[in-house]
Amino acid sequence: MLDVAWKVKCSAIIFCNFRSTGALFVQHPVVFIRRTQTRNRTSGEPYATHRLVESCRVGSAVKQTTLLNLGSHFDLPQQEWPALAKSIEELVRGQQPMFDATLSETGQALAQRYAAQLIALRPSAAAVTAAQAAKAAVDEPGRFQEVDLDSLEMVRPRSVGVEHAAVSTMRQYGLQDKLAELGLNRPQIAAAIGNIVGRMAHPGSELATHAWLQQRSALGELIGFDFESMDLNRLYRASDALYKHREALQEHLFGQAQSILGFVPTITLYDLTNTYFEGIAAGVKKAKRGHSKEKRSDCPLVTLAMALDGSGFPRRSRVFAGNASEPATLEDMLTGLGAPSGATVVMDAGIATETNLTWLRAQGYHYVVVSKLRERQFDPALATEVQSAGQATIKIQRVLDAQGHALLYCHSPAREQKERAIDAGKTAGFEAVLLKLQAGLSKPRGTRDVAKIMERLGRAKQRYSRAAQHYQVELTKDDSGTQVRAIAWTKRVKPGSAAAHPGVYCLRTTLVELDNATLWRSYTMLTNLESVFRSLKTDLGLRPVFHQIDRRVEGHLFISVLAYHFVHTMRLQLKAEGIDDSWESLRQTLATQRRVTATLQRRDGRAVHVRKATRPEPYHQRINKILALDPNPGGTHRVLV
């Protein structure tokens, strides 16, 4: 092996504590970076490794110690190595580094990183055993130190609050053990956790997560992993591994959720959403044009289908093409789900086709769905009242149809107010078009041509179809039949339409034996699923998608689903104690806690480094108490250099 080393003499000692005793001469240590050429034992391919080495001469002997392994990807130019070694030594000693002009910005960042690692590697004065404390009594005088207050510096602030809550919840679920059981090694497990926690704390792409893990988060300190030396590709490969084991992970997490929170799965909520790509996504087979629920139909889309328990926990998720037919996905998602006999499925009208309802009955499922019946009916005299969670009164009229279903015509005052406002806007828009066409007949350059007026009237009916169905428009033509003399219209609300019964919608169910209140509350669980999709998109980085490879697209979406599982657990635990905040609000609160290093100079010139978390704020303390979180995540690490 060939060693190439650039050395720099240091004015003080980093780790060697050799002293002059009698005639024994001790030279101050030399710290340098060593590059060693070696070969891969398997392939025989040559490569170079780099180490930060300390050399001390004691009498006639030379002692060399590797302080840090810098790895094979250390690519700082050799001319910067002496300045880097000097800066590391100054930072470890708690001195304000006088960065050499030859040291680039990259080199300065590396100096900060390596100095922090060296400090972290030293035994903490707060964690040594009694024997170690006695042995190091001279060097580690304890918690009380005489220091220069003006030398105080606060360095390496890193977020820790959200990370600590997330990791604690993952430990409840035994996630690390499950990943190890699935064959992931320690770096892969760390990268997988980094992906999930990053999506919870700093939602974005894997590229954004990589930067966050390296520069702004203390997650590595909580799980004992150096994210600063981790390559971006490891995050991508961890995403692949998570998606590969999606079935086993979803089954494990749902089972653990049942055990932790003690719920019995009886209702399955099913719906789909989609998200859009940035770019053309030409290499992604499932990237298709379709109807975007975010009004981004100008972009390729991909569809996420989810089956949730009534408690709000994901049971299964699948990725479909952006133009997937919603009804066609139901059987694929529910087959093999393992729902108990007689379980209930709740879904929206778009999925509740007659074919799907027939399949559900054949599989032994009950269902509560929004009926596609266009004709509405509602008689307040025959309705019963149900109190909603918001204390509003819902009136429900029950009717049995020929197939033995119970049809529940539900009237909501809030929905009536909303629909009346929509109808008023559509009516005003349609009548404005009619008035404009009518006024044009009396203008010198106004439009009188029958074909043009019919074309404009057709466009208006299409645009304002909700209102236009209630109007009868008559055109009076001249003798030639090509010119319009007059336009007249009458409005008559169609019986059974939404305008005739504003605020009324119809539920269809096989559970005819249940009371109206129970059935209606089962349907309202769909709002849980709608809130899940909103959270995935706004709080957990589901959109947009930047990947251009199929498995990476699916992995990206699955990471958000996993992140939601842990977020939902924390929110349920907090809600039970009266805290019902959104995840965005909770994240902002938890994110106020940082982990920092305080560095001070002693009178004898030595430096004291203390790394710990900031004190949690009062509201943060309440969250910590409910979730049983340590107020000082990561503990306290005291080092005397």
Give residue-wise pLDDT tens across range 215-269. 999 999 999 999 988 999 999 999 999 999 999 999 999 999 999 988 888 788 8
Do 503 and 413 form a contact (C-beta atoms < 8 A)?
Answer: yes
Please tell me the predicted confidence (pLDDT) of residue 2.
Answer: 42
380: DSSP letter: G
Fold of 247-412+503-548: Transposase Inhibitor Protein From Tn5; Chain A, domain 1 (3.90.350)
Residues sharing a CB contact under 8 Å with residue 342, sequence separation 6 or more, in sequence order: 364, 365, 366
Please tell me the predicted confidence (pLDDT) of residue 14.
Answer: 44
Cis bond upstream, residue 544 (ω within 30):
yes
- Phi first, then psi: what are they for 303, rounded to 5°? -105, 135
Angle at 67 between CA 62 and CA 70, to 5 degrees: 125
- Burial class from Cβ neighbours inside 10 Å (0-12, 13-18, 19+) for residue 151 reads middle
What is residue 161's three-state secondary structure? helix
Give residue-wise pLDDT tens across range 570-625. 999 999 999 999 899 999 999 999 999 998 888 888 888 889 999 998 888 999 99
Give residue-wise pLDDT tens across range 507-519. 999 999 989 888 8
Sheet holding 61-71, edge to edge: 3-9, 30-39, 46-58, 61-71
Do 547 and 284 form a contact (C-beta atoms < 8 A)?
Answer: yes
Question: Residue 364 and residue 390: Cα distance in Å, rounded?
Answer: 34
Do 55 and 39 form a contact (C-beta atoms < 8 A)?
Answer: no
Residues sharing a CB contact under 8 Å with residue 425, sequence separation 6 or more, in sequence order: none
Give residue-wise pLDDT tens across range 53-95. 888 777 777 888 888 888 777 888 888 888 888 888 888 877 7
Please tell me the predicted confidence (pLDDT) of residue 94.
Answer: 73
- All residue ranges of the chain with pLDDT < 50 are 1-2, 4, 6-26, 127-141
Please tell me the predicted confidence (pLDDT) of residue 10.
Answer: 43
**Spacing of C-alpha 285 from chain mean position:** 24
Query: Residue ranges of the domains in the chain?
Result: 3-95, 122-244+551-641, 247-412+503-548, 415-491
Name the nearest CA neighbour of 203 among 539, 597, 632, 557: 539
Question: Which H helix or E strand runs over 403?
Answer: none
End-to-end alpha-carbon separation of the chain, Å?
34
Do 525 and 310 form a contact (C-beta atoms < 8 A)?
Answer: yes
Structure tokens at 219: 């997650």
Question: Residue 536 and residue 274: Cα distance in Å, rounded?
Answer: 11
Q: Which residues pair with 38 in a beta bridge?
A: 47
Residues sharing a CB contact under 8 Å with residue 179, sequence separation 6 or more, in sequence order: 188, 189, 192
As a residue count, the chain comes to 641
Residue where the block lists tokens 């982990």? 595
Residue where the block lists tokens 């499925």? 345
pTM: 0.77
